[in-house]
Amino acid sequence: MATRRSSGGCNLLECNSPGANGEGIVAIHSETRGPTAFFRDAGIVAFYAFDASGNRTTTDDAHWSWTNYSLTDTRGRKAIGAESALPPFIKESLLASSDRYYIEYENGWLFGEMPDMQHEHYGDGRAPGYFRFSFSDDRFVSGRKHPLQSVDDIRQALDQDLFKPASPARLFERIMRRFLERLKLQLSELSERLDSIEDHIVGDAWQGESERLAPVRRQIVASHRYLSITANLLRHLEQTHRKEFPEELGDIVEDLSQRAGALHQEGEQLQARARLLQEELMAKLAHRSNQLLYVLSVMTAVLLPSTVISGFFGMNTAGLPFADERHGFWIVAIFALTISAIVLLIVRRIGGPGR
């Protein structure tokens, strides 16, 4: 079987045995490169082994490891089911047929399904993603049905040695923090777009802003939904299992809960702001419609007397007044205009100042 060299200097098959090139590790497959046949047969998307300091190492020398499976690959699902080291409730969580957001802690394992964004290069970056994970002191096992943006960002950071997680809990923390950072960036961009729309609405160039505001509101709602789910799950986890956590994990969950809560409030403020802009825009549209209706009403009222008079004198019958008068037309026209002028004055007085 042909082998391929990893970034650590050993080939991907040799990295599962000790002493390969002295460096060991392995980042097995990226989200953007095809897996080797060895790991493809196991349905593995990525695998890393770490020492106690978070440096990558061989599996035999590893203090803990991260295995990420493809849950749409039957081989990956079979590999999870065959793992004797995984408790039954962890297998059930990873292999669940339906997607739902939740997080639980049981017998030293933190597991669940947290929100993430689908990878922007492989689908709609705004579409919801589901990150299934479980970890204990020495194992981190995860899976996904679609490439996930935050998970791939962390994988790239590991490949470039920009991040060295000393424990599975630290890896979980970094993935969640990356997800929250992306949401914060989205909120900042949406806030800037709202600033631009607000400037136009407050000024005189508000026409057409409704088409700009609608997609911004949709994105704010989607981001707020992500934040609401994340904040609620982490807050529930902290309140329910805080006393059961090891000190490191307890601090991590508390910090993530606070970060998610703060972002959730920021999302609520942004949503309220977008709603107020929508209401102000609708008020301006209603005011403009009322002005147009007022003009039409005035025109109708002013022209009504002339219409009645012209209709009266337009009847094809004998004995009409002024029919034989030399200046009959002008007498009727002046009379109709006078009545219309009187009606206009009355309508303007009824309409109030400024009309």
> Where does residue 197 rank: exposed (0-12), middle (13-18), buried (19+ CB within 10 A)?
buried
Beta carbons of 91 and 80 less than 8 angstroms apart: yes
**Apex 238 CA angle, 234 and 243, nearest 5:** 155
- According to DSSP, the β-strands at 64-70 and 139-144 are parallel
Q: Which two tokens stand for residue 11?
A: 């080939």
Q: Which two tokens stand for residue 291?
A: 């002005």
Between CA 174 and CA 57 the distance in angstroms is 20
> Where does residue 164 rank: exposed (0-12), middle (13-18), buried (19+ CB within 10 A)?
middle
Beta carbons of 278 and 234 less than 8 angstroms apart: no
Between CA 306 and CA 308 the distance in angstroms is 5
- Within its chain, how far is the Cα of 160 from the centroid? 28
Read off φ and ψ for residue 17, nearest 5 degrees. -115, 150
11 has pLDDT over 50: no
Domains, the chain, with CATH or none: 1-165 (3.30.460.20), 293-351 (1.20.58)
* pLDDT tens for each residue of 312-340: 777 777 767 776 777 777 877 888 888 88
Mean pLDDT rounded to a whole number for the chain: 81
CA dihedral 268, 257, 153, 229 (to 10 degrees): -50
Between CA 136 and CA 176 the distance in angstroms is 17
Q: Which residues contact 35 (CB under 8 A, 6 or more apart)?
A: 28, 29, 44, 45
Q: Which residues contact 148 (CB under 8 A, 6 or more apart)?
A: 116, 117, 118, 119, 129, 131
Looking at mean pLDDT, say which of 2-16, 120-134, 228-242, 308-322 comes out highest.
228-242
- pLDDT value at residue 39: 66
- The proportion of the chain whose per-residue pLDDT surpasses 90, expressed as a percent, equals 41
- Tell me which of 211 and 17 has the higher pLDDT: 211
Q: Which residues contact 250 (CB under 8 A, 6 or more apart)?
A: 242
* pLDDT tens for each residue of 57-102: 888 889 999 999 999 989 999 999 998 899 999 999 999 988 899 9
* pLDDT tens for each residue of 263-297: 999 999 998 988 888 888 878 888 788 888 888 88
249 has pLDDT over 90: yes
Which amino acid does the sequence have at 117?
A: M
Spatial strand order of the sheet with 109-117 comes to 44-50, 64-70, 139-144, 128-135, 109-117, 102-106
- pLDDT value at residue 4: 37
Between CA 156 and CA 30 the distance in angstroms is 8
Q: Which residue has the tokens 């039957």?
A: 74
